[in-house]
Structure 1
């Protein structure tokens, strides 16, 4: 028996290239010269020669170990392996099994000189592979630095324009009209409704929004990666951050084998400074919305916000805004209140640098300034006036753009689901779609349509209502409760920190801190809560 082995480096080469057929043709011709009429078994691989455990090679070696193979024919030693040690291991194993290894393009005899020549060709093949990797990497880095895109980008919210590889990056990787709307909705749900990755994933699945790969179900880790990715706000897409070598091979191994060897299907992060570079694409999410989402995400743990999270004890959590960049204010180590955008890069990988110059202020001083304003509202009867002014300001500039964009995306999704429902129903009626798969599909689409229409109805109601009305504010009803007001006024000066925190979170909608000197007290402006 004769074994023929051929190899190319990628699936694409195996599928559409000519190397494999040519390698096998040359090996068949050599087999016909060595032993005419002998049965021939062919094995092929479409994996890198750096990898020893290739399915085709291992199957060929298993057959060789049975002791019935006379010749093992390969085109060239570099087709056998691109690693010198691997070449020698395979060569010795074939020889120990009693088979003769034959290379079509290299005459190697079983002599000291032949083994020396084999070692030299193996070393040259290994060197050539290293140079190929180096040249490819250098070419990709050069293209990135020139503003180009070296490979296909698969990032939710963006689409890769085929045939435009030689154009600038912002013309090759562009926002996808439908996906970008759902990205914006994810950030809005997180920042404005306080939803975590799990709740957002469940909502997307319920609404029938497909993932980037076209799957129906969303996973919370996918949503978290999207929400934590600064490219959606900055447009700065870093390429070559992770090492993907070996992932393609690991995917082909059975799950039991991967678990046995401890192999994971996750790329390894590269050390800092080894990235290829950065390309600029069009941002999808406003920076302010992205920063608010990061603050909400920071409070979530597996299963929700931790009950012992120290931020629950702080008076002004989630209420502060920067007077310079309008970003969120945050507690830093429980001692200072700072602009979150200045410190975002320390706790969100890849967060953009900030030009904000708002100085940090002691937590006690800022809390005291806000508490003094809340106290004056009650003592001087100014809360009603402040509430009316805040309502007038909101009515003058209603922020309904986000809801309108989400509603537009919902309408497109509803239309697509109805067309899919009609298509499946028509195929089922004509007997072209079996009932055991058509009926569950129609039921799934009906449930998704119900969820989509329910969400659309809710958004239409909120848009029709417009900005909040004074009489609809919970705080307005409390102001009309004289007994409650008298009770608050009587206990203002006797509340402990927990009591003050509860009252501030109930009354204050937001506060803005403006820059002052390092040793000067903080300057804050406090606004009442409308909803």
Structure 2
């Protein structure tokens, strides 16, 4: 039997038939021209050549091992794989099975010279793939640095003007967005009560005609696009197996902010963020036991949040511990020892009672201190934006090198983002009196104190000793 193996790497190519029929026809003609009928086809539609785990390829390898195949015809070496190592593995398996490897675009010679040429072609193929990826990413980054977003499906409230390269507000959807943010920030709802309130008022997703789900509402109130800032290059996807990708978060220094039309004002957004943090700290969810530091405590070893867990003992007593959640996120943390809840809660609360009375007075004194006039910072921001606009004009006119322009635009965007953050940031004001701290007795009262103090507790236990630090969140 003679085998034809063809492959395309994307689902879209597979659906449209792009190159698949071409490959099959060319491979069949190649075999028939050599007087080799009895052809069997092995087609991998929408599978990356980076990995060997492909359904049709695995069937082909099984048939090779069974000795039922005499010739294997492939359109080009990169259809086997763009990975040189994988190409050599497959070529070696075909040779060991006593079959002959044929290509439409050239002849394969099993001699040392032929294998060297085959290896060179594989290396060139891998290089070409890397260059395509690099050029694609470079083009996307240049577009974003010029202030134009990378369009995907527009979120509720917006449509896309692809000619102008900008998002456009949809008025009737924008009204619903404003209503949702007003209800959430004004009534301090959780997601589920917010959804129930919207359903009771007959407010639905006008795109689908159905009520807003909890997941959709959560994406809405956490999307800064609605406040006029779209962040790009926050994450990237890495192919780790066939049909399986891993989402990797980029460092914040790599993020790029794009200004888009705002549906809500910045004050509403900041209030929403504050309510979201409050709900996060105060949420009881399905916990059978309350933990004072829930939503506040982080692991001092790796920075991941810690969660409270209660273990029943034979004595019918229950013992609570704070444990690191790194394992949930498939990360490794060396701080594997749980921290007793009661011991740490008491230590942290006593620390707050002893120190925050003095810090309250100091913080309120700092309210009247202005480090730098706001108008100076605004002038700096205007100057940076003017420089950015000038460079973009030079790029449009073709009077500046693209590499140099991209580098300068990246630096300018970093500076603009930093200045904008300094304008938006507010000095920490402890909006709570020493009397309120001292009078807190119940779990809810103490947790509300922690919420107003806006702190994070970083803790760990080593050698039987608990250590912790308290930082501003």
Same fold (TM over 0.5): yes
One of 355, 363, 387 as aligned partner of 2:423: 355
2:271 is equivalent to residue 271 of structure 1: no
1:167 match:
164
Structure 2 length as normaliser, TM-score?
Answer: 0.58
1:221 and 1:282 map into 2 onto residues whose CA distance is: 24
2:110 match:
110
2:307 is equivalent to residue 299 of structure 1: no
1:6 and 1:246 map into 2 onto residues whose CA distance is: 21
The structure with the larger Rg is 1
**How many residue pairs align between the two structures?**
326
CA change 1:286–1:81 in 2 (3 A) is: same
1:466 match:
none
Structure 1 length as normaliser, TM-score?
Answer: 0.52
Counterpart contact for 1:45–1:55, Cα < 8 Å: no
Counterpart contact for 1:247–1:267, Cα < 8 Å: no
Q: Which runs of 5+ in 2 are unaligned?
A: 295-351, 371-416, 446-473
- Post-superposition shift, 1:167? 2.0
**Deviation string, structure 1 residues 186-208 (Cα, Å, up to 9, x no partner):** 32222112211233355567858
- Post-superposition shift, 1:367? 6.5
2:123 match:
123
**Deviation string, structure 1 residues 302-342 (Cα, Å, up to 9, x no partner):** 9925855579xxxxxxxxxxxxxxxxxxx9x9655689xx9
2:177 match:
183
1:249 and 1:155 map into 2 onto residues whose CA distance is: 29
- Post-superposition shift, 1:138? 0.8
CA change 1:283–1:32 in 2 (3 A) is: same
**Deviation string, structure 1 residues 227-271 (Cα, Å, up to 9, x no partner):** 2222211x22122221123389436xxxxxxxxxxxxx6622123
| Greater share of residues in helix | 1
Q: Which runs of 5+ in 1 are unaligned?
A: 252-264, 312-330, 343-348, 372-494, 504-531
1:122 and 1:295 map into 2 onto residues whose CA distance is: 54
Computed over aligned residues only, the root mean square deviation of the Cα atoms, in angstroms, reads 4.1
Counterpart contact for 2:28–2:39, Cα < 8 Å: no
**Deviation string, structure 1 residues 265-298 (Cα, Å, up to 9, x no partner):** 66221234444x3332111122222111111111
Which has the bigger relative contact order, CA under 8 A and spacing at least 6?
A: 1
- Post-superposition shift, 1:152? 2.7
2:237 is equivalent to residue 244 of structure 1: yes
**3-state SS in 2 of match to 1:293:** helix
Counterpart contact for 2:4–2:39, Cα < 8 Å: no
Counterpart contact for 2:75–2:104, Cα < 8 Å: yes
- Post-superposition shift, 1:23? 1.5
- Post-superposition shift, 1:17? 5.8
- After TM superposition, the structure 1 = structure 2 runs for residues 368-387 of structure 1, keeping only pairs within 5 Å, are none
2:264 match:
285
2:217 is equivalent to residue 226 of structure 1: no
1:133 match:
133
Counterpart contact for 1:230–1:351, Cα < 8 Å: no
